[in-house]
Homo-oligomer: A and B are copies of this chain.
């Protein structure tokens, strides 16, 4: 490892520390109410020291969101990409995404991902494009799944956002210390979604097993 890459590594670690701290502040007191001075103070930096790393508060928010999307790529997308069978890919995505948002260190970052109304113009467009790639990956998996299995007539588009809603809502209600383990949560979400998306819909009010028997 040469000096340039050691310095790059140190600088990356420093940036991640800045993003972690900023995310906690943005989350606890709101983006609007958090000043660059607050962030500098929490990091034991001077304001000039913080501006040495980050040029504006908007760039800081942009950095935090991109850091969150980096984590999503490293911890979820990368593993999904090694798999071919769509049901395996979907299980891996659900499990990995839930794991990511329940890691206490990243909790605030994953929440801030969805509060990006504050970003404008080119920065907003860049973030939206990265988010869209994830949604397209999920839609691709759901399209493949429809080709290989019976399906309930739910479109990949609606299915993708239904699943993201289930997962991204977790931070509103789930307590890791409560009655449902993270493992059970991932298991039940996978079962609910995979079962709902694949297979015939029990729409008639007659139990599914009866309907099947009559065929």
Interface residues of A (CB under 8 A from B): 30, 32-33, 85, 87-88, 114, 148-150, 152-155, 157-159, 161-162, 164-170, 172-174, 179-180, 184-185, 188-189, 191-203, 205, 207-209, 212
Contacts and interface: CB of A to CB of B under 8 A. Distances in A.
B202 A158 contact: no
A193 B43 CA distance: 45
Contact of A208 (B150, B157, B174, B207): B150
Contacts of A114: 172
B192 A196 contact: yes
Nearest to A189: B162
Nearest to A157: B180
Contacts of A155: 180, 188
Given A196-B192, A205-B88, A169 B164 contact: yes
Across chains A and B, which 5 residue pairs bring their CB atoms closest together, nearest first? A196-B196, A165-B169, A192-B196, A199-B208, A191-B201
A165 B208 CA distance: 25
A187 to B, nearest CB: 9
Given A199-B208, A202-B149, A154 B30 contact: no
Given A114-B172, A174-B161, A202-B198, A154 B191 contact: yes
B202 A194 contact: yes
10 contacts: A114-B172, A152-B195, A153-B191, A155-B180, A161-B172, A162-B166, A162-B169, A162-B189, A165-B166, A196-B196
B188 A153 contact: yes
B170 A165 contact: yes
A87 to B, nearest CB: 5
A164 B149 CA distance: 27
B197 A199 contact: no
Given A154-B191, A193-B196, 9 more contacts: A85-B205, A87-B202, A158-B184, A158-B189, A161-B173, A165-B167, A191-B201, A195-B195, A199-B202
Contacts of A192: 152, 154, 158-159, 162, 193, 196-197
